[in-house]
Structure 1
Amino acid sequence: MRRALGKCVPSQLVLFDFLAPRLYTSSRTRSLTGSTSRPYLQVSESAARNISTTAKTRATATKSSILDAASNSEGDLSYHAAHLYKCALAGDILSVWSAYGQIHSEHRRLVLGPEHYGALSMMLVKKYDHILSTADKSDEELHAMEELAFACAGAGYVDGLRQMLVWRLVRSESDKVISAFERFEQTLLLDESGLEKVTTPPDADTVEDDENEELRLANPDISRLDIANIMAVTVAAYAAQERFQDAVQFILQHPTYRVTGDNMETLGEELKACGMYQGPRTALVPMTRYYIDAGGLALLVQRPEAFKAHLRNLVKERRVGHRLDKLRARFTAAFNGKHAWAAATESQQSPTRPIVVPEKIWAHLIHSYIVLRNEDSARALWADVIRWGRQPGTEMFNALLEGYRDVCHLPKLLHTWQVMEKQGIPFDARSYGAKLGALVLDREAGHYSLKLFDEFKATRPNEEDSLFVYNTVLNNLLLRFQRKRALALLDEMKKRGPQPDIVSYNTFIAHYAKLPDLQEIAKVVRELTEAGIEPDVFTFTSILSALLKTRISNGAERLLGIMDMMGVKQNVATYSAIIDSQVREGTKVGITAAWQVLQQMERMKDVEPNIVTYTSFLAGLHRSRELDKDLITSISSDVVQTMKKRGMRLKLGTYHILLKACLENPNPEALDFFMDYFNMMRRNGVPLWHDTWYIILDGLVRREEWDLATEMKNQMLDSGFQPMWGVAKRMRLIESWEARNRKGLGTL
């Protein structure tokens, strides 16, 4: 039966047999969470991803594991490592420290495997969980615990270290927390052999909308979530000393690891259990959350494109208006609050206001309000910006122009243009592009559009800026089916500049693809090839669209032939992008085309599809609302079997994307596919992390599948997983529904 769920199976490690601290202590975990003798640490992501029983670890030890060593000699490193492991399980700190010292003195720490560090880290969690004063442990034991915590962190097991930091925070030893993070930071720069690592911060400007990024981040190092959790404790240490500016600088100095208010949720519960909400320390948790929010926003405003991507994601949410208002309130606090940190202009910049908010930030936020048709909030923000000391310039006015263009409100766009003229605000290429883009909506504005275009050319803009406007005019002319004028303009560009780019030619290809006119497409393809311009994914998807509309058999095969004729180098990335663009349409035609391209790739020697290709296709397949269940079942089964034959295993990131795709499809049968993938995860021993449970519970709550959500919640708790952050919130929603259902009150 689809909704009949068994118990979650512990992970069987694909690459390493890490000891799983959580499973080893799962029988005690849930009772400990209700204890008041805390702090108690939620098991970290690094530990959670390596769930395995002690027996499993012993049976399948890696070559670095020496648990089954034959020698029991007192001076044998194997003996000391095995002795260390046994003492860790027994909780004998000083014996563990002695054994570790013997191994360390021989400079042979690499003989210790994941099973040793896992046991050590969980031993430390338990010890710090039960000591509330130094009287419970000798100075020697406390020193040993701290050194072992750093040793485990260096090997990727951070639970013990974080619990040590929380314990010191409870004891009002904030300086020691801060200095401990500085020491921990050095472990992020060294691998276990002591060699410096080369790390590259993620490009937040580009990864925010890339769901396949999860497939590329799998690595055995300490996870960013673990680091962010440790950073949250460090920010709390700054908050305990009321060092706001230092806390913000601390966050700004660590842009790679994104610490957010969510990292405070579990920490807040731990501190509350330790009495940190009592007396003068009552405000520590909300103060820390404010520090984190302020630092995160200060970091974000320095990267306008990342801020734009953040807004783009917010606009997709249901309560986007509420979220944008909260964001605006955070800006208000940044300029007017007790802990103001923002400056409107460089002249206002000071040691206490180190961050200048660029005009682009306000432009992106105003544009979001206009697109959401919330002009009142846009108007209020405009007034705030002026009050804070910045006079609106071209960037902010362009946000209005582009916003009104995007919502097809030509009168307001023209009024904004007039205001710019009266106030002497200079127009740039984006200004003209927005106005020309809006005029195409007015059937009687054709003559005025050309006049405006001549006006723009008279300003003699540089070639890079003017190309954007020229391409806008080309698009306008073709939308009006004024093909001769469009071709004449293209010839003018070739002779006088700016030289046409791939966007120029793609505009014509897309136009002919709608007709469809394959002969004209062929002419454009020859032109861009002769001009030495490289086609892009949009070029190929437009050509494929035209082939499908003409109902030519083997359209995908014909496309690959055209690409070969154009001299396009065969590569997986290009073909995968074509597949992704087709499946994202969600149409039966698009899915069919993508399926054809995928099958062609499988027959090619040099361009075999990879895990990203297959994942993208499967996700699009399960999002489609036009295909019937039998067809989806047939295609998805074929793809999964092909992946197995090619030696590809579905990894956690793949499952995340597929689970989310199934849950986002409102069709009832989508739940069947969701359960298929969930059960496949369990059969294959794939560990369920925090992100996994969040995707599952959030998707079911959004669908209001309360019965299945309840079963999943119970499965999660039975597995020993400790819900936190967003997962804990979704669990509370489910429990609220359960309570209402028992009373016969129905849904939330």
Structure 2
Amino acid sequence: MLALIQRNDPDAVLRLYERFMQLVTKSEGTEDVSGDGLEEGEGSTEYDALASATYSSVDTMPYKPGRATVLLSGITACAMKDDFLGALHMCLNTVIRPQHYAITTFMNKLKGNRPLQRKVEEYVSLLRSATMVAHPTELSKRVNQLATSRSIRSIEKLYQSIMDGISGPAPCMVAHESAKTVEMPVVFTEVGWTSFMVAFLKCGRKDLAAQMWDDMIGLDVQPGVSTWTAYIDACDGISAYNEAVAGWGMMLEQGVKPEALSYRAIISTYFNARQTDKAMDTFRTFLEDAAKESPERQQLAVYNTVMHGLLIAGRVDEATATFQKMVDEGPRPDVVSYNTFLKFWARTSNFKMLSSVMNDMVAAGIKGDIFSFSTILSALLKVGRDDAPELMIALMRKQGVEPNVAIYSAIMDQQLREQTVEALHTAMRLLQRMELDPTSQPNEVTYTSFLAGIYRGSWLPPAVAEDWRRNIVDRMKRRGIKLNRVTYHILLKACLEYPEPEGVETAMIYYREMVKQKIHIISITWYILLSGLLRRGELGAANEILADMARSGVQPTGAVAELVYKARKRVGRRAIA
């Protein structure tokens, strides 16, 4: 195809592209061919709860080399014919998503024709944004990932590229469904606007959120109820209570009718701002104006928020009355409703009421979940009950839940997520109990969960975290339990998210253990290491990884190749050599 491009024969390139896509469709059906160069998930579903965090930001479809080049060749042919619409439809009709590394490599092959190279670069830039906008779920996922990692520059760059695609010199997208045409088939939907607004607020950039709002108004986009709800929720999440309340007022002024989740958001805001009376006034308005027409699941969200807020405010009688109203009139309380009271009574060490709530759950046919039993365990140990694990197990069996290693491990993980010293010791008590019980012996998942919990966040000082790490590792060695590749991935990710320098040191310890034990290092391993090290600016450690990759002869592809490209730019080619 490149030879045909050099011969200035775009029609022949397009014929080859169509033939290629026909063959792909015929041989693979609807298989996702976007491939990021990362192997599919490893291990059994036993690891799903723990491993989900490891793979949250990485596509795991098999990589198919050459497909990005084929698509880019097709785009180049369209550029040669001044057919941007054809290139756009080409991208919209495939799931191939060329990564930056593949694009850079391809562009280097066009250096002999600089005008064409520049034109293709412009096409590709617009097409990448348009393709993502055309798939709102894909766009929302990407923006959320960037917000979670606080990559504000990347979010801002992506947003600006979309604005350029809507109102720039060569528009290829529209901001209204009504403006959609054959020439402009891509619409920036409310999902997209909402995703960016939440991301800007989550990253603490109120100025960018405000600018985005101005862009919406300038493009005659009227924010819908979903956008307003997300805005209020996001403001509540960053304690911007005044902005949330102002947003609620503006939504009403503009005649946007709030839905149940909108009420839930503003009620939560009022409670968190310690304006309990306003929260209850708003709740009563919800009951009068919106409750009957709202789905039961959304009604439950409102009721549960109200009960939680009342309990935090110390208005226990009102919370209890609200719960009773649910029992008598609906919506029927769910496990979250009961957990709300369990948490409150556990915090106040009121075991009589704890027992009463558990009995009510049994009578209502509601089984407790991991949070329920973890709460009970914490409360029992808090008052010094040495038989706490046994009492918790008795309660589980009373509710028809048979404890096993998976449940114990999940409860222990829940404890560690509380990130307090008390919860840490509770988790250890449960681990010790498992080690003594021949029917519930801890496995690698259990110990991995504990190790990951130590480095999740910065709640433990580095020296303390290291002492606990050694303790758990020693326990594993005594039992002959070895970490495998999946568990190492979980630990690498957790350590690289630990903000202290010791997090990087521990991650490198685990990486070197993998090498020493001859555990095959795969694409996901390289991805976790390089993405974490680059995010933290640890260029020395990144250079070590790059050198190891070079010595091993691995040829990075897809997302890993993208990271290698970025790492080489930052580290410098001399450092790598």
Pairwise TM-score range, normalised by the shorter structure: 0.7 to 0.9
What's 1:455 paired with?
285
Structure 2 residue corresponding to 1:559, chosen from 392, 396, 400: 392
Structure 1 residue corresponding to 2:75, chosen from 227, 235, 239: 239
What's 1:526 paired with?
359
In the alignment, does 2:519 pair up with 1:689? no
CA contact (8 A) 1:502 1:535 kept: yes
What's 1:650 paired with?
484
CA contact (8 A) 1:343 1:356 kept: yes
In the alignment, does 2:150 pair up with 1:314? no
What's 1:399 paired with?
230
Q: Deviation at 1:288? A: 3.0
CA distance in 2, matches of 1:313, 1:682: 29
SS in 1 for 2:323: helix
User: How many percent identity over aligned positions?
Assistant: 27
What's 2:473 paired with?
636
CA distance in 2, matches of 1:483, 1:720: 65
In the alignment, does 2:195 pair up with 1:364? yes
1:289-300 → structure 2 map (5 Å cutoff): 289-299=125-135
Structure 1 residue corresponding to 2:16, chosen from 176, 183, 187: 176
Cα offsets for 1:472-520 (capped at 9, x unmatched):
2111210111111111111111112222112211111111122232321
CA distance in 1, matches of 2:235, 2:443: 42
CA distance in 2, matches of 1:474, 1:650: 44
Over 3 Å counting, the alpha-carbon distance change for 1:736 and 1:431 in structure 2 is same
CA distance in 2, matches of 1:271, 1:680: 39
Q: Deviation at 1:210? A: 7.3
CA distance in 1, matches of 2:29, 2:325: 56
In the alignment, does 2:550 pair up with 1:713? no
CA distance in 2, matches of 1:266, 1:641: 47
What amino acid does structure 2 have at the position aligned with 1:456? Answer: F
What's 1:112 paired with?
none
Q: Deviation at 1:639? A: 2.8
Cα offsets for 1:74-115 (capped at 9, x unmatched):
xxxxxxxxxxxxxxxxxxxxxxxxxxxxxxxxxxxxxxxxxx
What amino acid does structure 1 have at the position aligned with 2:466? Answer: K
CA distance in 2, matches of 1:190, 1:325: 33
SS in 2 for 1:516: coil
CA distance in 1, matches of 2:387, 2:113: 68
SS in 1 for 2:182: coil
CA distance in 2, matches of 1:181, 1:327: 29
What's 2:208 paired with?
377
CA distance in 1, matches of 2:283, 2:399: 33
In the alignment, does 2:416 pair up with 1:583? yes
CA contact (8 A) 2:264 2:301 kept: yes
CA distance in 1, matches of 2:414, 2:91: 37
What amino acid does structure 2 have at the position aligned with 1:677? Answer: Y
Q: Deviation at 1:214? A: 8.2
Over 3 Å counting, the alpha-carbon distance change for 1:737 and 1:706 in structure 2 is farther
SS in 1 for 2:221: coil
CA distance in 2, matches of 1:167, 1:686: 42
SS in 2 for 1:533: coil
1:590-669 → structure 2 map (5 Å cutoff): 590-598=423-431, 612-623=445-456, 625-626=460-461, 627-639=464-476, 642=479, 644=481, 650-651=484-485, 653-667=486-500, 669=502
Q: Deviation at 1:613? A: 4.6
CA distance in 1, matches of 2:509, 2:488: 11
Q: Deviation at 1:721? A: 3.0
What's 1:424 paired with?
255
Q: Deviation at 1:641? A: 6.0
Query: How many residues are aligned here?
Result: 542
CA contact (8 A) 1:557 1:600 kept: no
Q: Deviation at 1:579? A: 3.1
CA distance in 2, matches of 1:382, 1:578: 43
Q: Deviation at 1:359? A: 2.2
CA distance in 2, matches of 1:276, 1:358: 40
CA distance in 1, matches of 2:539, 2:524: 20
Q: Deviation at 1:527? A: 0.8
What amino acid does structure 1 have at the position aligned with 2:244? Answer: L
Structure 2 residue corresponding to 1:483, chosen from 316, 319, 323: 316
What amino acid does structure 2 have at the position aligned with 1:324? Answer: I
Q: Deviation at 1:281? A: 4.0
CA distance in 2, matches of 1:247, 1:609: 55
Over 3 Å counting, the alpha-carbon distance change for 1:268 and 1:409 in structure 2 is closer
CA contact (8 A) 2:493 2:532 kept: yes
CA contact (8 A) 1:238 1:246 kept: no
Cα offsets for 1:641-670 (capped at 9, x unmatched):
6464xxx7612x332222232333345554
> Cα RMSD over matched residues?
3.7
What amino acid does structure 2 have at the position aligned with 1:315? Answer: A
What's 2:36 paired with?
none
Q: Deviation at 1:559? A: 2.6
CA distance in 2, matches of 1:511, 1:439: 20
Q: Deviation at 1:532? A: 1.2
Q: Deviation at 1:521? A: 1.5
SS in 2 for 1:235: helix
Q: Deviation at 1:212? A: 0.7
Greater shift after overlay, 520-529 or 283-292?
283-292
Q: Deviation at 1:524? A: 0.8
Q: Deviation at 1:605? A: 7.6
What amino acid does structure 2 have at the position aligned with 1:450? Answer: M
What's 2:34 paired with?
none
What amino acid does structure 2 have at the position aligned with 1:176? Answer: L
SS in 2 for 1:491: helix
CA distance in 2, matches of 1:641, 1:721: 35
Cα offsets for 1:527-549 (capped at 9, x unmatched):
12211123223222322332332
Over 3 Å counting, the alpha-carbon distance change for 1:583 and 1:210 in structure 2 is same
TM-score where L is the length of structure 2: 0.81
CA contact (8 A) 1:643 1:649 kept: no
In the alignment, does 2:350 pair up with 1:517? yes
Greater shift after overlay, 289-298 or 476-485?
289-298
CA contact (8 A) 2:175 2:219 kept: yes
What's 2:159 paired with?
328
What's 2:116 paired with?
280
CA contact (8 A) 2:126 2:172 kept: no
Query: Structure 2: 5+ residue runs without aligned partners?
Result: 32-39, 42-47
Q: Name the structure where helix makes up a greater proportion of residues.
A: 2
SS in 2 for 1:524: helix
Structure 2 residue corresponding to 1:494, chosen from 327, 330, 336: 327
CA distance in 2, matches of 1:617, 1:442: 35
SS in 2 for 1:384: helix
CA contact (8 A) 2:451 2:491 kept: yes
Cα offsets for 1:132-154 (capped at 9, x unmatched):
xxxxxxxxxxxxxxxxxxxxxxx
CA contact (8 A) 1:239 1:291 kept: no
Over 3 Å counting, the alpha-carbon distance change for 1:277 and 1:266 in structure 2 is farther
Cα offsets for 1:229-262 (capped at 9, x unmatched):
544223212311225445545554555x6x25xx
